Amino acid sequence: MDKNTKIYITGGSGLVGRNIIENPDIAESCIFAPSHSDLDLLDYNAVFAYIKKIKPDFIIHTAGQVGGIQANIDDAYGFFTNNMIMGINVIRAAKECGVTRVLNLSSSCSYPCEAPNPLTEDMIFTGAFEPTNEGYAIAKTAILRMCEYISGQFEGYHYKTIIPCNLYGRYDKFSPLKSHLIPAIIRKIHAAKVNNISTVEIWGDGLSRREFMYAGDLAKIIASILKRFEEMPDVINVGLGYDHTINEYYETVAKAAGYNGGFTHDLSKPAGMKQKLLDISKQKELGLEAHCSLEEGIKATYEYFINEYKGE
């Protein structure tokens, strides 16, 4: 990347967007990352006018309505509608404005809930989604397909989709209604520590397995992808290739926070899919990998939470 390369990043104030903007290779570029108050992605005409005005060389679409299991269950309509409309508006406006390089971020929720692990890219559209986040999953999968249609139908257009594993890190959302697993664990355990609470509750039995990548590592991989964009597959998983149990994430956060209490399990609460591990064979073939260990990543995220996080 150089200072003449113009990159428009949607969702620039979110976890992924801010880590991308912070990446030193991408920071050398001319970055456009308007906030929601400056550009409403639900307004197609506004999105079209903005893209037409700035004429970006790349668009990285990271924006979306996100949240944990309970938030998805409570507002399936919102998660479906808002993510679908935002995705269509950005991708359609990019195409109509002649932007030939778009990197769309999808989700591992796109995979069928009953698909065998590890999950390979050809499993998409082969089965039903996990019910607890179906609205979100349908929207993200539809935008993935929309990008494939454009790349396949229009010569010279390269609309790629990466499917990252679960993410965490600096700039994560820690509010109870919006947080994903690791920031939710950090908030719960920190509260237990400062309030001298002897036990922390875990939803389910804690044996479900999840793959979590530090968002800074994803940003590094995206920087590498932009440098060799045309050679990338249209759809590619990006992850670690290994996972941990929910119980292990609680234990790692407890260690980072210096919390010495115990844990209880509420078996009446939803726990989601038993496993969601990505096959990263394509990623490895391209020499792309994550380097931050779970302990290092959680320590950095916890320090961000207690020292820099201002709430939402």
Q: Give the span between the Cα atoms of 13 and 193, in whole angstroms.
A: 29
Choose the catalytic residue: 8, 111, 136, 259: 136
* 8 catalytically annotated: no
Rounded CA separation 306/257 (Å): 10
Q: In 3D, which of 273, 279, 295 has the Cα closest to residue 112?
A: 273
Report whether 239 contacts 205 (CB < 8 A): no
Residue 70: C-alpha distances to residues 73, 79, 165, 270, 301 (Å): 5, 12, 19, 8, 22
What is the C-alpha to C-alpha distance for residues 220 and 205, in angstroms, rounded to an integer?
Answer: 34
Strand ranges in 220-274 using DSSP code E only, listed in sequence order: 235-238, 244-245, 262-266
Which tokens sit at 176? 């109870």
Q: How far from chain centre, in Å, is Cα 88?
A: 18
What is the distance in angstroms between the CA of the first residue and the CA of the last residue of the chain?
Answer: 33
**Nearest by Cα to 182 from 121, 234, 256:** 256
Residue that is written with structure tokens 């999840």 in the block = 210
Distance (Å, whole) CA 119 – CA 280: 9
Which helix (H) or strand (E) covers residue 74, if one does?
Answer: helix 69-74
Closest CA to 104 of 87, 89, 129, 123: 87
Note if the bond before 112 is cis, omega within 30 degrees: no
Return the active site residues: 136
